[in-house]
Amino acid sequence: MELAILVIVVIVALAFDFTNGFHDTANAMAPSVATGALKPKPAVALSASLNLVGAFLSIEVARTVGSGIVDLTGVDGEQLMLIVLCGLTGAIVWNVLTWLFGLPSSSSHALFGGLIGATIAALGLSGVLWGGVSQKILIPALFAPVIAGFVAFIGTWLVHRVTRNISERAEKRSFRWGQIGAASLMSLAHGTNDAQKTMGVIFLALVAHGTIDPDADMPLWVRVTCALAIAAGTYMGGWRVIRTLGKGIVDISPRQGMSADFSSASIILTSSHLGLPLSTTHVASGSVIGSGLARDDVKVRWSVARRMLIAWIITLPAAGAVGAACLLLTNLFDHFWGAVVVTTILVVACTAMWLRSRLDPVGHHNVADDWEAPKGEHKRTIDRELSAVASHIAPISRPRKRKKKRGKNGRKRGK
Amino acid sequence: MFDLEVLLVAVGSVLGVGLLLGAGIPLIYALGVRSRESGRPGSNAVSAALMLVCVLLALGGIVVIVFGDAIFGG
């Protein structure tokens, strides 16, 4: 039965890796898609290929996942695998839910939150290493978007100063390649950082099962499957999140897109090298906001940014709550059936959310549409809807024009 | 468990490299674009050289960050 639980954990971990790629395609490609530097489909194909390559370049982050955040010493193998499974379930549910709402939230925080919640449910508060949580999750969550925003702000400001006299046409033509290069670097950086997190989780499960030694090297099959899963997820393209990050926060220009992507890529590559599991979503979103702030003529939509910030704040507790609830549920069954029940609930929840997303589809065909419909179009839409409602009583084929009121002498009233 | 010194070093490194590469590469690229658009004699060559510097910096950054420990024995 222990082997069956291990197989379930590995499959669910790869599913998390898939949702991670799916959710985070936006981090690399949203600016390029939004500015039209790349068409949506080639953009996700390029990003998927580079995520695949990036996954093989570094395993520094994989070594840090789990270590220093939860204390699982003394937990027996099956219980440890259940904690990992429930943590992954919390992370996947949160990832899919935030994708449904088009919110770029952190897959890393969802994963850590799920693991922390499941550990608390299994071992109590003493099972969590709060010092490690502060150092590896909470404080980096605060500084990552700020640093990324600052770097992108400086980069965008400098680029605008240098190229303020070139025409819009020249800007679009000249910065297109810079933007593609920066987005490619960002995809590579994402592969070096995020694919590692799932590798770390599978490694933890393999150690719990006793398949490998804690000091062993990362098995090749783990690296290959994780790289393929994140690349496949990236290729699927989380269009809802791409739309929010590319068009929702700020109407990005090619110069801004390039600066934002270079800022994100340099920060993520450095953090991968240092083994710091930074959230690529926080970095990418911070960069987009920073590049928006660097220009006076561009409006940052703070309402969208505020929704995103709320999602960031509740990611850890929300994924943790789902993880904890799943673990408490598994206690009602034996370990194997507990794992089966949790996995079934996960599949049902994800299917329900996917079906809900079909009611309001966002795909490669409409991902780069304007965020706010022009006022005239918006008014016409409301008029059409009102006409449809009113048609049961008095059919109205087209909206009526309001007659101008005139005074006795034929002039308009008032003025 | 909480090591403030390690954290500060990490934050400083991320900020330093971020500014150097994250803001530096776009600046050099922009200088290359301005040079090409200026239409002055030799501007295309200057522009190409600056673009090449961008590519080399990006590749150098990847090599140092990914293979830094192997190269420098870190």
- The pLDDT tens digits for A234-249 are 998 788 888 888 888 8
Tokens describing residue A9: 């954990």
For residue A339 the two structure tokens come to: 């794992």
- Predicted confidence (pLDDT) at residue A171 exceeds the cutoff of 90: no
Residue located via tokens 């990324």: A148
The beta-carbon neighbor of A266 closest among B2, B17, B54 is B17
Residues A341 and A383 in one domain: no
Residues in chain B, total: 74
- Report the DSSP beta bridge partners of residue A70: A128
Check pLDDT > 50 for residue A415.
no
Distances (CA, A) of A73 to A103, A207, A215, A302: 36, 12, 15, 44
Q: Do A240 and A383 fall within a single domain?
A: no
Q: Tell me how far apart the alpha carbons of residues A89 and A345 are, in angstroms, rounded to a whole number.
A: 9
Domain contains A337: yes
Q: How many angstroms separate the CA atoms of A175 and A11, rounded?
A: 41
Residue A374 has pLDDT above 80, yes or no: no
Which pLDDT score, from 0 to 100, does residue A49 have? Answer: 93
Sign of the Cα torsion A391, A396, A402, A403 reads negative
Residue A395 has pLDDT above 60, yes or no: no
How far apart are the CA of A302 and the nearest CA of chain B, in angstroms? 24
Asked if A249 and A390 sit in the same domain, the reply is no
A261 plus A383 within the same structural domain: no
Q: A41 and A108: one domain? A: yes
Question: Mean of the pLDDT values across residues A207-217?
Answer: 84
Tell me how close the Cα of B45 comes to any Cα of chain A, in angstroms.
15
Same domain for A239 and A263? yes
Lowest mean pLDDT among A82-96, A183-197, A216-230, A309-323: A183-197
**Judgement on whether residues A117 and A168 belong to the same structural domain of the protein:** yes
Is the domain of A32 the same as that of A67? yes
ipTM metric? 0.89
Domain hosting A21: range is 2-357
A77 Cβ contact list (under 8 Å, min separation 6): A2, A208, A209, A210
Chain B residues in contact with A181 by the CB 8 A cut-off are: 54-55, 58
Evaluate whether residue A179 is within a structural domain: yes
- Minimum-distance CB partner of A158 among B13, B27, B61: B27
CA A396 from centre of chain: 44
Average pLDDT over residues A319-338: 93
Q: Which residues of B touch A259 (CB under 8 A)?
A: 23, 26
- Residue type for A90, please? G
Are residues A96 and A210 located together in one domain of the fold?
Answer: yes
**Does a structural domain hold residue A414?**
no
Residue with structure tokens 């006795």? A408
Least trusted range by pLDDT, from A4-13, A276-285, A393-402: A393-402
Between A401 and A14, whose confidence is greater? A14
Give yes or no for a contact between B44 and A175, defined as CB atoms under 8 angstroms apart. Answer: no
Q: What is the pLDDT of residues B1-60, one digit of tens each?
A: 567 787 788 888 888 988 988 899 999 999 999 998 888 888 889 999 999 999 998 888
Paired strand residues for A412: A406
Same domain, yes or no, for A393 and A270? no
Residue A258 touches partner B, C-beta closer than 8 Å = yes
Q: How many domains does chain A have?
A: 2
**Closest-CA residue of chain A to B10:** A274
* Overall average pLDDT of the A251-265 stretch: 87
In a domain, A366, yes or no: no
Does pLDDT of A412 surpass 60?
A: no
Contact call for residues A233 and A265 (beta carbons, < 8 A) = no
A166 interface with B at CB cutoff 8 Å = yes
| Assigned domain for A368 exists | no
A365 inside domain: no
pTM of this structure: 0.82
A250 — phi, psi (to 5°)?
-155, 145
Output the pLDDT for position A407.
54
- For an interface test with A, give the residue of B9, B64, B65 to mutate (most A CBs within 10 A): B65
Within a domain: A408? no
Higher pLDDT, A380 or A264: A264
The reply to whether A332 and A184 lie within a common domain is yes
Q: Is A138 helix (H, G, I), strand (E, B) or coil?
A: helix
User: In angstroms, rounded to a whole number, what is the distance separating the alpha carbons of residues A254 and A156?
Assistant: 10
Mean pLDDT, range A285-293, rounded to an integer:
88
CB contact under 8 A, B66 and A270: no
Instruction: Say whether A156 and B61 touch across the interface (CB within 8 A).
Output: no
Radius of gyration of chain B (CA): 17
- A11-38 CB burial, b ≥16 within 10 A, e <16: ebbbbbbbbbbbbbbbbbbbbbbbbebb
Whether A175 is covered by a domain: the verdict is yes
Does B36 contact A174 at a Cβ distance shorter than 8 Å? yes
Domain shared by A396 and A249, yes or no: no
CB A302 within 8 A of CB A94: no
- Closest partner CB to A139 (pick from B7, B13, B68): B7
Q: Give the range among A104-113, A237-246, A331-340 with minimum mean pLDDT.
A: A237-246
